[in-house]
């Protein structure tokens, strides 16, 4: 037997090789994509790369990657786009291949399933039902014709429409329900397809961008994360006001922005947004993501003379140049830094100024807000101290667009429906045969089949038998 089996196996392989040689290129491509092995490989690859994308930092800066992974690995990350993996061309190509694979596999097997769901004529094989393990048999002291109508009623109420046939030995009845449930797996396939298509559309046609607005500022241009590519919106966003509340520890308790949407030069509406309470308009989502100290308009500056500690106060605008006391030169307030770095230490908010001496020499100084004695270390003629300034904030907004989101929502709904059909519904068929025996008695056979949950079908057959015995 083993030798015959090996011979048959070799002959089968030879036939498969001959068939493959005779296949055209389109046929080979079709066979490639309808392979279940391909599905498994693609799913394993997508799962593996998704784990990598979770472990490795996404959309970071070059310095962060070099610090975390080293220069050599950073180059590999850049080449393979692992720093933005879910938008990388090869990751999207894997998703696209999986979409094709699902479609081709479904089409390949649909014709067979379609014939089962929509047969030209419903027929049944009595011999098959007689051999089933769940077949129950009992005898009744009534003839077949008197039992027929009552049994048909029970079968109709339990299963559905009854097909009845008569022969020389007795009466056969067959009923079935749930043929359409075999399409449940295709509903699941469709749901996965919608989820994948939604992901592709969102990745190709959507974006995730940032926008920084000072109070009172308006903009219609956002910048895509990492690439810093400008994207122009169909409307403008104005930050009317920004408010932040702090705990006693100094940590932010709540921060919110009051935004106005301006379209075609007219104000559409105004709304407050908080963290996890975004503004949505025309497919664009506006999230409150961060905040910071904005550049103030003006500052009160104290100039302290070292010789006698005489203080001269002046209000200076950023960009303005003033005369130092006693004609000691010029001072220009050049800018503001929210984070001032001094020898690797973050001194917080600071103003940057430039002193130009009478001999033409100039140098830049930093004036931290929290450290009023900092500039005294310079030991110049004057020490500069920030006495007061109007603190303003900017709001950090995350702007997203995902045109594939409705495909994803539809996919989830279809998946729930498909899983319910696949796991909790089935194609059930039931067979009753009434055979005439000696005298006026009859022997009854009851059996049934299902494409899933056979134990449940066995219990149903037993319940039907109980009902039939009571008739």
**Residues contacting residue 240 through CB under 8 Å, at least 6 positions apart:** 215, 216, 258, 259, 260, 270
**CATH code, domain carrying 444:** 3.30.310.80
3-state secondary structure of 169: coil
What own/partner pairs with CB < 8 Å and gap ≥ 24 does 10-17 have? none
The answer to whether residue 67 sits within a structural domain is: yes
Q: Based on the domain organization, do 281 and 407 belong to the same domain? A: yes
> In percent, how much of the chain has pLDDT > 70?
95
Q: Based on the domain organization, do 230 and 81 belong to the same domain? A: no
Give the tokens for residue 59. 């959309």
* 197 contacts 409 by C-beta, under 8 angstroms: no
Q: Based on the domain organization, do 317 and 334 belong to the same domain? A: yes
Q: Based on the domain organization, do 138 and 45 belong to the same domain? A: no
Report the C-alpha gap between 369 and 344 in whole angstroms: 17
Domain count, the chain: 4
Report the C-alpha gap between 336 and 352 in whole angstroms: 6
pLDDT on residue 22: 67
The answer to whether residue 410 sits within a structural domain is: yes
Q: Based on the domain organization, do 305 and 378 belong to the same domain? A: yes
Count Cβ atoms within 10 A of the Cβ of residue 383 and give its class: 0-12 exposed, 13-18 middle, 19 or more buried.
buried
Kindly give the confidence (pLDDT) of every residue in the chain, 471 residues in length, as a single tens digit, with 9 standing for 90 and above: 444 445 555 555 655 555 556 678 888 888 888 888 999 999 999 999 989 888 888 888 888 888 888 888 888 888 888 888 888 899 999 999 999 999 999 998 888 888 888 888 888 999 999 999 999 999 998 888 889 999 999 999 999 999 999 988 889 999 999 999 999 999 999 999 999 999 999 988 999 999 999 888 999 999 988 777 899 999 999 999 998 888 888 788 888 999 999 999 899 999 999 988 999 999 999 999 988 888 888 899 999 988 888 899 999 998 899 998 888 899 999 989 888 998 888 998 899 999 998 888 899 999 999 998 899 888 888 899 999 888 788 999 999 999 999 999 999 999 999 999 999 999 999 999 999 887 778 999 999 999 988 999 999 999 999 999 887
The answer to whether residue 99 sits within a structural domain is: yes
Q: Based on the domain organization, do 260 and 407 belong to the same domain? A: yes
Q: Based on the domain organization, do 265 and 402 belong to the same domain? A: yes
Q: Based on the domain organization, do 378 and 399 belong to the same domain? A: no
Query: Which residues on adjacent β-strands are paired with residue 238?
Result: 218, 260
Count Cβ atoms within 10 A of the Cβ of residue 402 and give its class: 0-12 exposed, 13-18 middle, 19 or more buried.
buried
The answer to whether residue 212 sits within a structural domain is: yes
Q: How far is CA 400 from CA 208, 233, 377, in A?
A: 4, 11, 48
Terminal CA-CA length for the chain = 53
Q: Based on the domain organization, do 332 and 440 belong to the same domain? A: no
Expressed as residue numbers, the domain containing 341 is: 298-389
Ramachandran category for residue 193: left, alpha or beta (phi over 0 → left; psi -120 to 50 → alpha): alpha
């Amino acid at each position: 037997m083993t030798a015959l089996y090996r011979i048959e196996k070799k002959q089968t392989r030879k036939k498969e090789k001959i068939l493959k040689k005779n296949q055209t290129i389109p046929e080979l491509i079709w066979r490639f994509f309808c392979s279940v092995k391909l599905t498994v490989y693609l799913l394993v690859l997508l799962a593996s790369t998704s784990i990598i994308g979770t472990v490795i930092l996404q959309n970071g800066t070059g310095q962060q990657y070099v610090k975390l992974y080293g220069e050599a690995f950073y180059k590999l990350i850049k080449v393979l786009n692992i720093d933005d993996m879910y938008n990388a061309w090869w990751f999207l190509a894997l998703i696209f291949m999986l979409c094709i694979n699902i479609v081709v596999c479904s089409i390949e097997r649909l014709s067979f399933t379609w014939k089962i769901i929509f047969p030209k004529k419903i027929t049944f094989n009595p011999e098959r039902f007689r051999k089933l393990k769940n077949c129950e048999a009992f005898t009744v002291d009534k003839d077949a014709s008197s039992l027929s109508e009552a049994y048909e009623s029970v079968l109709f109420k339990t299963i559905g429409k009854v097909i009845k046939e008569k022969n020389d030995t007795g009466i056969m009845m067959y009923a079935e329900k749930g043929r359409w449930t075999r399409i449940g797996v295709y509903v699941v396939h469709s749901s996965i397809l919608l989820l994948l298509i939604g992901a592709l559309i969102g990745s190709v046609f959507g974006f995730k961008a940032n926008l920084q607005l000072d109070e009172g500022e308006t903009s219609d241009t956002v910048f895509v994360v990492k690439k810093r590519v400008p994207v122009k919106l169909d409307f403008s966003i104005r930050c009317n006001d920004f408010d932040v509340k702090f705990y006693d520890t100094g940590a932010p308790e709540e921060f919110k922005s009051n935004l106005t949407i301006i379209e075609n030069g007219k104000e559409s509406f105004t709304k407050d947004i908080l963290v996890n309470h975004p503004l949505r308009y025309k497919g664009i989502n506006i999230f409150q993501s961060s905040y910071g100290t904005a550049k103030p308009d003006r500052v009160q500056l104290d100039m302290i003379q070292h010789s006698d500690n005489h203080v001269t106060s002046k209000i200076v605008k950023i960009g303005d140049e003033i005369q130092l006391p006693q004609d000691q030169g010029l001072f220009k307030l050049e800018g503001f830094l929210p984070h001032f770095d001094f020898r690797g230490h973050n001194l917080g908010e600071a103003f940057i100024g430039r002193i130009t001496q009478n001999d033409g020499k100039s140098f830049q100084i930093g004036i931290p807000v929290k450290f009023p004695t900092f500039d005294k270390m310079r030991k110049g003629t004057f020490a500069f101290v920030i006495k007061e300034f109007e603190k303003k904030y900017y709001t950090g907004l995350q702007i997203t667009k995902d045109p594939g989101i409705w495909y994803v929502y539809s996919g989830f709904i279809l998946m729930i429906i498909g899983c319910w059909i696949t796991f909790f519904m089935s194609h059930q068929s039931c067979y009753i045969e009434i055979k005439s025996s000696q005298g006026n008695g009859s022997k009854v056979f009851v059996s049934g089949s299902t494409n899933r949950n056979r134990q449940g079908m066995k219990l149903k057959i037993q319940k039907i038998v109980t009902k039939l015995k009571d008739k």
